[in-house]
Amino acid sequence: MKIAVTVWGNRISPVFDSARTLLVARVKDNRVVDKHYESIDRDTAPVPETLKDMGVSVLICGAISRIPANSIASSGITLIPFVTGNAAQVIEMYLNNDPVPPSCFMPGCGRCGLRNGLKNAAVNRNQL
């Protein structure tokens, strides 16, 4: 399985729509075995297609507008939006299904009270 996180430095990029870099983590037995950075070239191919070509099954990102969110969610990729914080730590929280501190969700996203782990934060396009 591969998890992608839009990043700015070592933190989750605050806005998906302007993010240009992904941290892609390859996971085996619920552990990160490899991670690398990939550039997002929105001019070459649609992002969902690029993610699928990379083998990504989960995308964690910051704020995302409705059209790209619907496109990603309908492509079969698990979308976990409106997340903030250190990218590596958020990936670990996801893999461990740790309770999510309110500081990991962007203000105003409506998920700040979620305590059941990032895996339960995934949305489908009907929730957007």
Average per-residue pLDDT for the chain: 83
Number of domains in the chain: 1
Q: State which residues form the domain around 24.
A: 2-127
**Looking at residues 107-121, what average pLDDT do you find?**
53
The share of the chain scoring above pLDDT 90, in percent, equals 45
What is the bridge-based pairing of β-strands 56-60 and 31-39?
unpaired
The pLDDT score that the predictor gives to residue 128 is 42
pLDDT at 35 over 50: yes
Question: What CATH number is associated with residue 91?
Answer: 3.30.420.130
Query: How many residues are recorded in the chain?
Result: 128
pLDDT, tens digit, 9 for 90 and up, residues 64-94 = 988 889 999 889 999 988 899 999 999 998 8
pLDDT at 124 over 90: no
